[in-house]
Structure 1
Amino acid sequence: MSRIQLALNVDDLDAAIAFYSALFNAQPAKIKPGYANFAISDPPLKLVLMQNPGHGGTLNHLGIEVTSSSVVHAEIARLQAADLFTEKQMGTTCCFATQDKVWVSGPDQERWEVYTKIADTDSADAPATCC
């Protein structure tokens, strides 16, 4: 199953977790220092919260979570054929997970990633900047 990812900067992670838990009637799938994510089934959404004081309420990035690395590689080929700028990151550690991903920028420089999670990790590559 693919789902849209919405990564938000938040000032207060605990307050954001409480709010989104109530809003989506769901508990976080992962909580780490300065980071939490929700895997919402209805609507299909990966909600990522990144503590980034002074930037709360702003968009960090957008994404599409896909089921496998082969889908990421197919998206790389498709995006390159469409002449969209791509930045590949294979086996990268970000947001407390090892991921394969490709990045593109929209016409207003909004950052989108198409990614798959390979494994969970206990470390992050600075969640406010890796994604």
Structure 2
Amino acid sequence: MSRIQLALNVDDLDASILFYSKLFGVDPAKRKPGYANFAVDEPPLKLVLIENPGHGGTINHLGVQVDSSERVHSEIARLTAAEMFTEEEIGTTCCFATQDKVWVTAPDHEKWEIYAVLADSETFGDTPRLTDKNPGGSTAPSCCATS
């Protein structure tokens, strides 16, 4: 099953977890220091909360979670054929998971990833490297994104 991902910067992770647990009626699927994610069935949503004091209320990045690495590779081919610039990360560790992913940037600089989770990880992953301005006016880096 594919689902849209919305990654939000939050000032207070505990307060945000409480709010979104009540809003969607589910507990976090994963919780680590400074990080939580929810796998919401209805509507199909992967909600990611990244503790980023001073940038709360802004979008960190957007994405589409797909069910396999093969699907990521087919999306890479499709996006390349559509003449879109892509940044690929194969076998990367990000957001406490090993993933295959591809990034694209929208005209207004929103960062979108299409990704498949391959396995859980005990580490957050690479230090975020994306330093250009993100949606919502935040200059906070996006999660594990390439520059």
TM-score class, shorter-chain normalisation, is over 0.9
Aligned AA (1:23): L
Deviation of 1:12 after TM superposition, in Å, equals: 0.4
Compare relative contact order (CA 8 Å, sep 6+) and give the higher one, 1 or 2: 1
1:3 maps to what in 2?
A: 3
Aligned AA (1:42): E
Q: Following the alignment from structure 2 to structure 1, what is the Cα–Cα distance between the partners of residues 92 and 19?
A: 30
1:83 maps to what in 2?
A: 83
2:144 maps to what in 1?
A: 130
Deviations 1:7-31 (A, max 9, x none): 0000000000000000001100000
Q: Following the alignment from structure 1 to structure 2, what is the Cα–Cα distance between the partners of residues 129 and 29?
A: 18
1:112 maps to what in 2?
A: 112
Percent of residue pairs identical: 68
Q: Following the alignment from structure 2 to structure 1, what is the Cα–Cα distance between the partners of residues 21 and 143?
A: 25
Aligned residue-pair number: 131
Q: Following the alignment from structure 2 to structure 1, what is the Cα–Cα distance between the partners of residues 6 and 90?
A: 21
Q: Following the alignment from structure 1 to structure 2, what is the Cα–Cα distance between the partners of residues 124 and 22?
A: 26
Deviations 1:29-62 (A, max 9, x none): 0000000000000000000000000000000000
Q: Following the alignment from structure 1 to structure 2, what is the Cα–Cα distance between the partners of residues 74 and 117?
A: 16
Query: CA 1:129 to 1:25, structure 2 compared with 1: closer, same or farther past 3 Å?
Result: closer
Q: Following the alignment from structure 1 to structure 2, what is the Cα–Cα distance between the partners of residues 44 and 118?
A: 19
TM-score (norm 1): 0.97
TM-score (norm 2): 0.87
Look up the SS of the partner of 1:130 in the other structure: coil
Q: Where does the alignment leave 5 or more consecutive residues of structure 2 unmatched?
A: 129-141
Instruction: State the superposition RMSD in angstroms.
Output: 1.0
2:73 maps to what in 1?
A: 73
Runs of 4+ in 1 over 6 A off after TM superposition: none
Q: Where does the alignment leave 5 or more consecutive residues of structure 1 unmatched?
A: none
2:44 maps to what in 1?
A: 44
Deviation of 1:129 after TM superposition, in Å, equals: 4.0
Asked if 1 retains the 8 angstrom alpha-carbon contact of 2:72 and 2:114, the reply is: yes
Q: Following the alignment from structure 1 to structure 2, what is the Cα–Cα distance between the partners of residues 68 and 102?
A: 13
Look up the SS of the partner of 1:85 in the other structure: coil
1:32 maps to what in 2?
A: 32
Aligned AA (2:51): Q
